[in-house]
Amino acid sequence: MTHLRRSLAPGWWSLEKGYSWTVRPRPGPHGARESLPLGLVLRNLLGYVSTLEEARKVLGAGQVKVDGKVRRDYKYPVGAMDILELVPTGERFRMLPDPVKFLRPAPLGQEDAVVKVRRIENKTVVKGGLVQLNLSDGYNVLVNDGKEYETLGSLFISLTDGKIVDYVPMKPGSYAIIVSGSNAGRHGVLKSIITTMRRREAIASIEGDGTEYRTVLDHVLMIGRDAPLIKVN
């Protein structure tokens, strides 16, 4: 089906009343339950257009970039940490997880908009002995030695040349943000990891603003060492 029943859409989607159907996101770098179609981002979150028809015309004209690439599909799934650019105005936004709205566009300066945070999901050895780091949004990076990079650690990657700018491992004492689940958007220092049978299901404890939040490790993204390397407020 090309559309989605409104009743089946995620509860955090801000949808207009009076309609039984809405846009179904296409398969892409983010899951359907944790992303919002680009057309709805332009209309509902940014107010850049007032209708989906306008959104399709704007996108068709190549006026919107996601992670540095022009996207023309109004159903393209936009998720946490994606960077949007409105070409005519030069405005840039990072999609941040939010405890109320689940996803919110945070304005960025030009320098902040050229680096994207991606999590290492797994590693594979490819032809030639190189190691391929498979990242959270489907992006891949080849490195000579994969021992330096651990699964669930975060890479800060330049959108201009695709090179690794920085790396933050998944370990207590570093700064993290929760990107999914009921505590999405909460951020602070990763205090502890309580190991279970599967590492991704371990219990992570994050302390921020004097409050402790707990979630599964699979919902956590590292974004800094002593402090966040990206703007989260």
Residue spans of the domains in the chain: they are: 4-111, 114-167, 174-224
Fold annotation for 4-111: 3.10.290
DSSP class of residue 217 equals: G
pLDDT tens, position by position, 114-142: 999 999 999 999 988 899 999 999 999 99
- CATH assignment of 114-167, among 3.40.50.300, 3.30.565.10, 2.40.50.740, 1.20.5.50: 2.40.50.740
Query: Cβ distance 156 to 116 under 8 Å?
Result: yes
Give Cα separations from 128 to 73, 135, 142, 158, 231 (angstroms).
Answer: 36, 20, 11, 25, 38
pLDDT value of residue 11: 55
User: CA–CA separation, 98 vs 165, rounded Å?
Assistant: 25
User: CA–CA separation, 178 vs 5, rounded Å?
Assistant: 28
Query: Cβ distance 60 to 38 under 8 Å?
Result: no
* The two three-digit tokens of residue 224, written as one number: 């800094």
In terms of C-beta density within 10 A (0-12 exposed, 13-18 middle, 19 or more buried), how is residue 26 classed? middle
pLDDT value of residue 150: 95
Average pLDDT over residues 8-22: 54
Average pLDDT over residues 197-206: 93
Average pLDDT over residues 66-85: 95
Average pLDDT over residues 212-219: 96
The pLDDT of residue 1 is above 60:
no
Query: Cβ distance 83 to 94 under 8 Å?
Result: yes
The pLDDT of residue 12 is above 60:
no
Which band of pLDDT confidence, cut at 50, 70 and 90, is reported for residue 208? Answer: very high
* CA-based nearest residue to 178, from 201, 202, 204, 155: 204
Average pLDDT over residues 39-44: 91
The pLDDT of residue 173 is above 80:
yes
pLDDT value of residue 227: 94
DSSP class of residue 41 equals: I
Which band of pLDDT confidence, cut at 50, 70 and 90, is reported for residue 28? Answer: confident
Which band of pLDDT confidence, cut at 50, 70 and 90, is reported for residue 30? Answer: confident
pLDDT value of residue 22: 66
Q: Helix (H, G, I), strand (E, B), or coil: what is residue 32? A: helix
Query: Cβ distance 156 to 117 under 8 Å?
Result: yes
pLDDT value of residue 99: 87
Which band of pLDDT confidence, cut at 50, 70 and 90, is reported for residue 8? Answer: very low
* The two three-digit tokens of residue 174, written as one number: 């570093």
- How many CA atoms lie less than 13 Å away from 122 in the CB half-sphere? 6
pLDDT value of residue 131: 95
Average pLDDT over residues 213-233: 94
Strand bridging mode 102-107 / 115-125: unpaired
User: CA–CA separation, 83 vs 92, rounded Å?
Assistant: 7
